Amino acid sequence: MREWLEGVEQRYGLDTLTLRFRQCVLLSFAILLLLVIYRGFLIQGDAVDWRPVVAFVLPLVLFLPSIIGQRARGHAWLAFVSLLYFTQGVMLAAVPGQTVRGGVEALVSLALFIGCMGYARFRSRQQRQAKR
């Protein structure tokens, strides 16, 4: 796996890979955030209560400074948090009538995981090369 990643890095270059994975992170983060907000409003039904929305959105929003600041370590931690949303999406997909919504959430959170891990890897290597 390591040899394959190094081959991809030599073929495309660190700058291109870092940019592509960052785009993947930004897109999947935005979609997941919208899905989570939507689900929070669906749970509350007719009641006007912000607690379900805040409970679902807060773990993602806490990583906004890391995303904006382009910190590799923050992206690595966001990858692990995205697995919680993946698990939740898989569980939701098992509920009758929620299969599509749960499947989409699982796929988007998986894309966020892959994007964050790739970005963390290539961004940290890019920063190490810049120090030399």
Counting residues of the chain whose pLDDT is more than 90, the rounded percentage is 66
pLDDT bin (cut points 50, 70, 90) of residue 56 is: confident
46, pLDDT greater than 70: no
> Is 0.85 surpassed by the pTM of this model?
yes
pLDDT higher for 39 or 36? 36
Averaged pLDDT, 103-111: 97
Q: What is the DSSP letter of 94?
A: T
**Across the chain, which distance is largest between two alpha carbons, in Å?**
58
pLDDT bin (cut points 50, 70, 90) of residue 45 is: low
Q: How far is CA 35 from CA 28, 48, 106, in A?
A: 10, 19, 11
**3-state percent breakdown (helix, strand, coil) of the chain, nearest 5:** 85, 0, 15
pLDDT bin (cut points 50, 70, 90) of residue 44 is: low
Q: What is the DSSP letter of 62?
A: T
The distance of Cα 21 from the centroid of its chain, to the nearest Å, equals 11
Residues in the chain: 132
Q: What is the pLDDT of residue 82?
A: 96
Mean pLDDT of the chain: 90
